[in-house]
Each structure stands twice: as C-alpha cells, then as structure tokens.
C-alpha cells in the first residue's frame, strides 16, 4: 500500500497522526445501539479497538495507529465494520 492511497474509500484517511475515520448514520436509536454492539464484538474478536463517539442516530469511528502509517489491522477492522452495513441491508 502506498502512503497516499486510501485503502478504504468510504473512510477518511489522515497520515499525521495516521488514522482512518468514518461517520455512520442511522434512522433510530435502536439501530445505532445494535451497530455499536456489533462493532464491540468485532473489536473484541480481533483485539483491535476503535475510538467511538456517538449520539442518538450516529456513530463516529476512528481507527488510530501507533506507528508511522496505517496498518493492515486497521484496514481489516474498517472492512469488517463496513460489512456490518451490508449485513443489515443498508
């Protein structure tokens, strides 16, 4: 992966400090809550934890890196989080 490429098109990439971020919007609080619960399950399974901020109908996810570039763990986690939307039919 080259430094200037964004490996996850729907996510915003930042290089300094390295991170990926995306905001997800939902129609109801229950949909927001279900998404949060599913993100938590995925994060636990891969032992890679995102920073989350949320409100009634949105969740902002940030995957930061401790290294000098966006790593494969963050890319894989972002892809798994995106897959949640496909599973829900959104």
Q: Where exactly are the structural domains of the chain?
A: 12-87
Phi then psi dihedrals of residue 89, to 5 deg: 75, 25
What CA–CA distance (Å, rounded) separates 24 from 31? 11
- Digitized pLDDT (tens) for each residue of the chain, 90 residues in all: 444 566 688 999 888 888 999 999 999 999 999 999 999 999 999 999 999 999 999 999 999 877 678 888 889 999 999 999 876 654
State the pLDDT at residue 88.
63
pLDDT of the residue at 89: 54
Residue whose entry in the numeric block shows the structure tokens 């890196």: 65
Top CATH class of 12-87 equals: alpha beta
Q: How far apart are CA 53 and CA 34, in angstroms?
A: 14
Q: What is the pLDDT of residue 81?
A: 95
């Amino acid at each position: 992966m080259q430094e200037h490429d964004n490996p996850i098109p729907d996510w915003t990439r930042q290089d300094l400090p390295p991170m990926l971020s995306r905001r997800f919007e939902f129609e109801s609080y229950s949909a927001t809550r279900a998404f949060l619960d599913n993100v938590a399950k995925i994060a636990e399974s891969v032992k890679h934890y995102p920073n989350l901020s949320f409100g009634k109908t949105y969740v902002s996810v940030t995957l930061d890196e401790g290294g000098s570039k966006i790593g494969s763990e963050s890319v894989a986690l972002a892809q798994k989080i995106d897959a949640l939307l496909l599973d829900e039919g959104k």
